[in-house]
Structure 1
Amino acid sequence: MLGGVNGESSPVPGLAMLRSYRRAWLPRDLVAGLVLTALLVPQGMAYAELAGLPAITGLYTSILCLLAYAVFGPSRILVLGPDSSLGPMIAATVLPLVAADGDPQRAVVLASALALMTGAIMMVAGLGGLGFVADLISKPTMIGYMNGLALTIFVGQLPKLCGFSVDAKGFGGEVAGFVQGVLAGEVVPAALAVGLGGLILIGVLPRVLPRIPGVLVVVVLSMLAAALFGLDERGVVLVGTLPQGFPPPTLPLIGLSDVLPLLAGAAGIALVSLTDTISTASSFAAREGRTIDGNREMVGIGAANLAAGFFQGFPVSTSGSRTAVAVQVGARTQVTGLVGAAAITLILLLAPGLLRTLPQPTLAAVVIAASVSLADVPGTVRLFRVRRTEFALSVAAFLGVVLLGVLPGIAVAVALSIGNVFRRAWWPYQTVLGRVPGLPGFHDVRSYPEAELLPGCVLVRFDAPLFFANARTFREQLERRSRSDPAPRWIVVAAEPITDVDTTAADMLHDLDVALNGRGVHLVFAEMKDPVRRKIDRYELTGTLDPAHFFPTLDAAVDAFRRETGARWTAPQPG
């Protein structure tokens, strides 16, 4: 597990980590924490606005989630915080519930309630051992979902990058609104210059100066430009002075009618957050030769969301980019996150006006850069090259986000992932096996057309458990084999891939065996797993299926057939 130092098994990994903390680690953790602060502040503010919330809530959220995960999170280096992939999901959940006048305070209350629900879902699921739910979204559908999310975020931030706003719903409405704004001359040249300049620097600086956070440089330069050139007088909107101090713990009160929409959003956010966290944690754990515990990660992220929800925050997730920065600058433990939380708190208490000259187009550039990093074009191209069916799933997930919206998009992604699993089990790969001279065992005749066959005996393989959805497919294949000319005497099923047989399939096997016996064909099984064989006995199928026709190996079944019939292997006939 990717756990705290000497505290992998502790229910509170952070406390265990602090008890075993080494003084030699402190300088690196301090430096990493301060570097992270430079990223967390502008990104937290930008992602808060992406979620349709006041920028200050992004800082509240960053502080509380860092503190909570440092105590309850199992990873010693993962960095949590506001996330670009969750922002649109939060906005899609909260904004439709906000009053017609767009009351920002009500939006904060709803977002806090959403964080509490997300945290509760993840805590309960983690304690209940449900970490496997991260597997509900396959990688191809996740790639498509993230590509759609990237395009949606990119388009949504373009007006802000250009210095104006668009009041529209849906991807099509935002595209149309942006085009209309450009044609109507609403673009603010100074805002566009600041935004594009920041976007270019964020993209170029990591390649030129990889050890210096590009976001920090862009924030500092844009603030200097705002002060030197009076950008606010040129139509550029600035962040302004942030509220001083720290919010008291608050229980967000919501109406009964808000509960179900928020719960639906929380479930989707929890799923995406967990999937992203498992992926990120696994990637960094592999570098250290460690594994992760999905259930404990759920508890850690759940605690972070609960903490944020009680202090006017919103749902959070793991950040792969910020974690990578922390590792690059030498972070050793979650003390890095504690330093970052303390630094942000000091900014709010002692210097709330520090970021007052930060241009809004710069925040848009930060969000757009993050959206570009979400997209996985090489992964999409690879899917197209190696497996077209999974490429189609990825495209369908992409279109689900773009055409239906972010929350329906995650439902589409989950449904496609589950549907793809069901499709493979419904229509599994099935083939005939033969003997290849010089090659041990029995092999697929599609891969080895020269494979020898045994007259009167057909060896078939069905690569899936037998259950209600594919029982008919299995029966049709075997009945088709039984009607070949000349008809076989035995049909031997290589049953090793058949990991289960449900009651529907059991009834099918009974009827199939009766039908085959009526034509003088015996149904034979080889290499059936013991748990499956016990189910066959429990279903009382051996009253129909001959117990002597169950063999431990294919070789044993073939030898028995040859002893009974004297058949010899023959090469396939040409044509």
Structure 2
Amino acid sequence: MSPPGWQEYVPGVGLARSYERAWLPKDIVAGLVLSALLVPQGMAYAELAGLPAVTGLYTSILCLLGYAVFGPSRVLVLGPDSSLGPMIAATIAPLLLANGDPARAVALASMLAVMVGVVMTVAGLARFGFVADLLSKPTQIGYMNGLALTIVIGQLAKLFGFSVDADGLVAEARAFFSGLADGEANATAAVLGVCSLAGILLLNRFMPKLPSVLIVVVLAAITVSAFDLKSHDVDTVGVLPQGFPPFTVPAVSWGDLPPLFVGALAIAVVALADTMSTASAFAARRGDRVRGNQEMVGIGAANIAAGFFQGFPVSTSGSRTAVAEQAGSRSQVTGIVGAAMITVVLVFATSLMQYVPQPTLGAIVIAAALSLADIAGTRRLWHQRRTEFWLSIIALLGVAFLGVLPGILVAVGLSILNVFRRTWWPHTAELGRVEGIAGLHDTESYPGAELLRGLVVYRFDAPLIFANARMFSDKVRETATDDPSLQWIIVAAEPITDVDTTASDMLQELDAWLNARGVSLVFAEMKDPVRKKIERYELTRTINPAHFHPTLDAAVAEYVRQTGASWRSPQPEADDEGSRR
């Protein structure tokens, strides 16, 4: 049962009241384990977004606290995310000055987080959780594959210890290989970066329960310190600013708001789709239900909290959620413990980060990007449905060659067009009787199905609307023209979930055209809401009310009663047209 009144929108209050003392040790342990992952990932994803590494820690603290109060799930973990990093960078980069002032970048990213939070919160309160459905699975797979490719290419230079001045997949790839050819790579940094990447991937593959990122970061930092790799020009994170982030209202100009709002909308759609898929997966394992609209409020609160403390937009992390669950997490107290530990690092141990090498942060990002790619899913689409496979590829190419923000618009547009395509050109079928199987069935699937002379049973698998009304009309007219002996066309109307005014006018004209040729247009199994629309459109003045039957069997039986026709098998193709009839 949902809590009454305002408490429904503040699940953290209910958690505090129902919290069990036995959960506390497990939540503390899980929070400690989680913080070991949050620190290096937070810094790496901040730099992926084009921001100072410390902002990733600020973001992690505040989003965990915000979601603990307003988030409905007891297990989800929010934080900086590899899928959002390129979107954040793509939104704020065009607004930066020529020198790329870090303070202005932080202000823009913080305002972006606030805007994402407001969009998500308002949408959640308005119960717009269905927006997550704007990204279909095939386009989501393609988008994530394209994003993974973009991230990997963009991080290769950092992995090899140098930087490139390029924007876009092709330009960055060309600049990286040109840099290698010109000897810009730092051999020491490259070895460290490649070994870090290999270590993360190998540990994830063979010892998945170990905190691979933490182990690699610690070993890399020890290596930098022990062998004085700074003297070999290996870049490190350096000493972080000390102290808890202050409350800050992001200072941006009015002209910055429109492009930030566009980016916020795109980020909100991706964050929501990611959160809903992750929440559904973990809720199913725990026997919980997903409260989609409250999830939007929770994510919104987390983003607003991060935005007012020099943070940037966040989303749910499947990998961090899995780590928390495996460590025994029982509630959002895990996130609070994780936030407290990050705060301890910022207040007392910022100097520990001075030995963390940049190539290792690049390796963390690349490893995360590789986990975004779904090659198996793409292969499955190829074998199961080629149309959706190509939609996935187009979404991938949109991200790779148009950019991250245009890519998400391409992905959403493709999802919507795919729905429209299925309505525009729906599957249709002529039905017949198959011996030994109840009901009527598609004659393409059962070529030997029996038919009744002078009758066609036609099924149209979509709502009848303006987009497909002409197709329906043309198909029925073609059927009537091809068979001069035709007396009835029964429309199996159960799949027709709607009839709009354009389709209503079409049906009126079609019925008159058929009547002039001695053919009756009959409907069977029409849903009551659709039948009421038919009556409201006054179509029953043209279409005989007796031509609406509750079932296909009733309609066919009435035709047999009136004509005395009997079921017969289709004639061989070699027969001439006259003998077939």
Range of TM-score over shorter length: over 0.9
**1:476-521 CA deviation, whole Å, 9 max, x = no partner?**
1100111123431000000000000000000000000011111111
Q: Which amino acid aligns with 1:433?
A: L
Aligned to 1:210: 208
Aligned to 1:547: 545
Q: 1:7 to 1:139 in 2, by over 3 A?
A: farther
Question: Aligned to 1:499, what secondary structure does the other structure show?
Answer: coil
Aligned to 2:576: none
Aligned to 2:509: 511
Q: CA RMSD in A?
A: 1.4
Q: Which amino acid aligns with 1:361?
A: P
Q: CA deviation at 1:355?
A: 1.1
Q: CA deviation at 1:352?
A: 1.3
Any unmatched runs of 5+ in structure 1? none
Equivalent in 556, 566, 569 of residue 567 of structure 2 = 569
Q: In structure 2, what is the Cα distance between the partners aligned to 1:189 and 1:527?
A: 73
Q: In structure 1, what is the Cα distance between the partners aligned to 2:120 and 2:568?
A: 60
Asked if structure 2 preserves the Cα contact closer than 8 Å seen for 1:273 and 1:317, the reply is yes
Aligned to 1:318: 316
**1:186-237 CA deviation, whole Å, 9 max, x = no partner?**
1111111111111111011133333221001001000000001111111100
Most deviating of 174-183 and 11-20: 11-20
Q: CA deviation at 1:543?
A: 0.7
Question: Aligned to 2:13, what secondary structure does the other structure show?
Answer: helix
Q: In structure 1, what is the Cα distance between the partners aligned to 2:483 and 2:501?
A: 32
Q: CA deviation at 1:11?
A: 2.1
Equivalent in 344, 363, 370 of residue 365 of structure 1 = 363
Question: Aligned to 2:452, what secondary structure does the other structure show?
Answer: coil
Asked if structure 1 preserves the Cα contact closer than 8 Å seen for 2:7 and 2:14, the reply is no
Asked if structure 1 preserves the Cα contact closer than 8 Å seen for 2:110 and 2:250, the reply is yes
Aligned to 1:180: 178
How does the TM-score come out when normalised to structure 2? 0.97
Pairing of 1:159-558 with structure 2 (within 5 A): 159-558=157-556
**1:237-295 CA deviation, whole Å, 9 max, x = no partner?**
01110000122211112112111100000000000000000000000001112220110
Q: In structure 2, what is the Cα distance between the partners aligned to 1:158 and 1:169?
A: 14
Q: CA deviation at 1:461?
A: 0.1
Q: In structure 2, what is the Cα distance between the partners aligned to 1:340 and 1:534?
A: 57
Q: 1:171 to 1:114 in 2, by over 3 A?
A: same
Most deviating of 144-153 and 431-440: 431-440
Asked if structure 2 preserves the Cα contact closer than 8 Å seen for 1:7 and 1:17, the reply is no
Question: Aligned to 1:446, what secondary structure does the other structure show?
Answer: coil
Q: Which amino acid aligns with 2:45?
A: Y
Q: In structure 2, what is the Cα distance between the partners aligned to 1:470 and 1:165?
A: 54
Aligned residues: 573
Pairing of 1:26-41 with structure 2 (within 5 A): 26-41=24-39
**1:63-104 CA deviation, whole Å, 9 max, x = no partner?**
000000011000001000000000000000001101111101
Question: Aligned to 2:566, what secondary structure does the other structure show?
Answer: coil
Aligned to 1:144: 142
Q: 1:7 to 1:47 in 2, by over 3 A?
A: farther
Q: CA deviation at 1:9?
A: 7.0
Q: In structure 2, what is the Cα distance between the partners aligned to 1:342 and 1:503?
A: 60
Q: In structure 2, what is the Cα distance between the partners aligned to 1:9 and 1:390?
A: 42
Q: 1:318 to 1:8 in 2, by over 3 A?
A: farther
Q: In structure 1, what is the Cα distance between the partners aligned to 2:299 and 2:531?
A: 43
Q: In structure 1, what is the Cα distance between the partners aligned to 2:485 and 2:263?
A: 58
Asked if structure 2 preserves the Cα contact closer than 8 Å seen for 1:122 and 1:302, the reply is yes
Q: In structure 1, what is the Cα distance between the partners aligned to 2:352 and 2:233?
A: 21
Q: In structure 2, what is the Cα distance between the partners aligned to 1:553 and 1:135?
A: 33
**1:78-132 CA deviation, whole Å, 9 max, x = no partner?**
0000000000000000011011111010000000000000000000000000000
Asked if structure 2 preserves the Cα contact closer than 8 Å seen for 1:278 and 1:294, the reply is yes
Question: Aligned to 1:355, what secondary structure does the other structure show?
Answer: helix
Asked if structure 2 preserves the Cα contact closer than 8 Å seen for 1:455 and 1:567, the reply is yes
Q: CA deviation at 1:26?
A: 1.1
Q: Which amino acid aligns with 1:554?
A: L
Asked if structure 2 preserves the Cα contact closer than 8 Å seen for 1:7 and 1:16, the reply is no
Asked if structure 1 preserves the Cα contact closer than 8 Å seen for 2:67 and 2:302, the reply is yes
Q: CA deviation at 1:7?
A: 12
Most deviating of 282-291 and 468-477: 282-291
Q: Which amino acid aligns with 1:102?
A: G
Question: Aligned to 1:366, what secondary structure does the other structure show?
Answer: helix
Q: Which amino acid aligns with 2:325?
A: V
Q: In structure 2, what is the Cα distance between the partners aligned to 1:440 and 1:369?
A: 54
Q: In structure 1, what is the Cα distance between the partners aligned to 2:287 and 2:457?
A: 43
Question: Aligned to 2:122, what secondary structure does the other structure show?
Answer: helix
Equivalent in 54, 57, 60 of residue 56 of structure 1 = 54
Q: In structure 2, what is the Cα distance between the partners aligned to 1:359 and 1:400?
A: 33
Q: Which amino acid aligns with 1:12?
A: V
**1:430-476 CA deviation, whole Å, 9 max, x = no partner?**
01000111211111111111100010110000000000000000001
**1:401-435 CA deviation, whole Å, 9 max, x = no partner?**
00100000000000000000000000000010001
Q: Which amino acid aligns with 1:459?
A: V
Q: Which amino acid aligns with 1:39?
A: L
Segments of 4+ moved more than 4 angstroms? 6-9
Q: CA deviation at 1:368?
A: 0.2
How does the TM-score come out when normalised to structure 1? 0.98
Q: Does 1:97 align with 2:102?
A: no
Question: Aligned to 2:459, what secondary structure does the other structure show?
Answer: strand
Question: Aligned to 2:482, what secondary structure does the other structure show?
Answer: coil
* Identical-pair percentage: 65
Q: In structure 2, what is the Cα distance between the partners aligned to 1:235 and 1:169?
A: 25
Q: In structure 2, what is the Cα distance between the partners aligned to 1:345 and 1:335?
A: 15
Q: In structure 1, what is the Cα distance between the partners aligned to 2:332 and 2:268?
A: 22
Q: In structure 2, what is the Cα distance between the partners aligned to 1:528 and 1:422?
A: 22
Aligned to 2:129: 131
Question: Aligned to 1:469, what secondary structure does the other structure show?
Answer: coil
Q: CA deviation at 1:54?
A: 0.4
Asked if structure 2 preserves the Cα contact closer than 8 Å seen for 1:8 and 1:74, the reply is no
**1:303-348 CA deviation, whole Å, 9 max, x = no partner?**
0000000000000000000000111111111000000000000111
Q: CA deviation at 1:538?
A: 0.3
Q: Which amino acid aligns with 2:67?
A: Y
Asked if structure 1 preserves the Cα contact closer than 8 Å seen for 2:224 and 2:355, the reply is yes
Q: In structure 1, what is the Cα distance between the partners aligned to 2:379 and 2:425?
A: 26
Asked if structure 1 preserves the Cα contact closer than 8 Å seen for 2:7 and 2:13, the reply is no
Q: In structure 2, what is the Cα distance between the partners aligned to 1:281 and 1:505?
A: 40
Q: CA deviation at 1:8?
A: 12
Q: In structure 1, what is the Cα distance between the partners aligned to 2:320 and 2:245?
A: 25
